[in-house]
Structure 1
Amino acid sequence: MSLKTDRLKDEGSRTQVVAAGAIAGLTARFVIAPLDVLKIRLQLQTHSLTDPLSQAPRGTLPTLRHIIKNEGVRALWKGNVPAELLYVCYAGIQFGTYRSVTLLLKNIGGMPDAAESFVAGASAGALATGCTYPLDLLRTRFAAQGRRKVYGSLAAAVRDIYRHEGPGGFFRGVAPGLAQIVPYMGIFFVTCEALRLQLAGFNMPFGSADATAGMIGGIIAKTAVFPLDLIRKRIQLQGPTRKRYIYGDIPEYKSATRALGMVVRAEGVRGLFRGLPIALVKNAPTSAVMVWTYERVLNVLIASNKTEEKMIP
Structure 2
Amino acid sequence: MSAGGEHLKDEGNRTQVIAAGAIAGLISRFCIAPLDVVKIRLQLQVHSLSDPTAPPSRILSANPVYKGTFSTFRTIVRDEGITGLWKGNIPAELLYVTYGALQFTTYRTLTLLLQSLPPSSRLPSTVESFISGAGAGAVATLTTYPLDLLRTRFAAQSTTRVYATLAQSIRQITLNEGLRGWFRGSGAALGQIVPYMGLFFTTYELARLPLRDLHLPFGSGDAVAGIMASVLAKTGVFPLDLIRKRLQVQGPMRERFAGGRIPEYTGGVIGTMKQILKTQGVRGLYRGLGIGLVKAAPASAVTMWTYERALGVLKDRRFGETD
TM-score by length of 1: 0.93
Aligned to 1:190: 202
Aligned to 1:26: 26
* Structure 1 stretches of at least 4 aligned residues deviating more than 6 Å after TM superposition: 1-5, 306-309
Aligned to 1:69: 78
Mapping for residues 9-88 of structure 1, pairs under 5 Å: 10-48=10-48, 54-56=62-64, 57-88=66-97
Instruction: Report Cα offsets for 1:171-204 as digits up to 9, x if no partner.
Output: 0000000000000000000000000122122111
Aligned to 2:181: 169
2:298 matched to 1:285?
Answer: yes
Aligned to 1:107: 116
Alpha-carbon distance in structure 2 between the residues aligned to 1:291 and 1:308: 23
Q: What is the one-letter code of the residue matched to 2:298?
A: P
Alpha-carbon distance in structure 1 between the residues aligned to 2:226 and 2:48: 34
Identity %: 56
Query: Displacement, 1:246?
Result: 2.2
Name which of 154, 173, 179 aligns with 2:166: 154
RMSD: 2.2
2:219 matched to 1:210?
Answer: no
Assess, with a 3 A threshold, how the Cα gap between structure 1 residues 201 and 166 changes in structure 2: closer, same or farther. Answer: same
Query: Displacement, 1:60?
Result: 1.3
Alpha-carbon distance in structure 1 between the residues aligned to 2:170 and 2:321: 43
Assess, with a 3 A threshold, how the Cα gap between structure 1 residues 5 and 281 changes in structure 2: closer, same or farther. Answer: farther
Alpha-carbon distance in structure 2 between the residues aligned to 1:22 and 1:4: 29
Mean CA deviation greater in 283-292 or 54-63: 54-63
Contact 1:94–1:127 (Cα < 8 Å) also in 2: yes
2:274 matched to 1:261?
Answer: yes
Contact 2:149–2:183 (Cα < 8 Å) also in 1: yes
Contact 1:48–1:266 (Cα < 8 Å) also in 2: no
Alpha-carbon distance in structure 2 between the residues aligned to 1:97 and 1:234: 28
Instruction: Report Cα offsets for 1:193-247 as digits up to 9, x if no partner.
Output: 0001221221112111111000110000000000000000000001000001123
Count of matched residue positions in the alignment of Structure 1 and Structure 2:
308
Q: What is the one-letter code of the residue matched to 1:237?
A: V
Contact 1:4–1:200 (Cα < 8 Å) also in 2: no
Contact 2:15–2:320 (Cα < 8 Å) also in 1: no
Alpha-carbon distance in structure 1 between the residues aligned to 2:70 and 2:216: 34
Contact 1:85–1:135 (Cα < 8 Å) also in 2: yes
Assess, with a 3 A threshold, how the Cα gap between structure 1 residues 204 and 284 changes in structure 2: closer, same or farther. Answer: same
Contact 2:15–2:319 (Cα < 8 Å) also in 1: no
1:126 match: secondary structure: helix
Q: What is the one-letter code of the residue matched to 2:135?
A: S
Alpha-carbon distance in structure 2 between the residues aligned to 1:4 and 1:73: 50
Contact 2:191–2:240 (Cα < 8 Å) also in 1: yes
Contact 1:144–1:245 (Cα < 8 Å) also in 2: yes
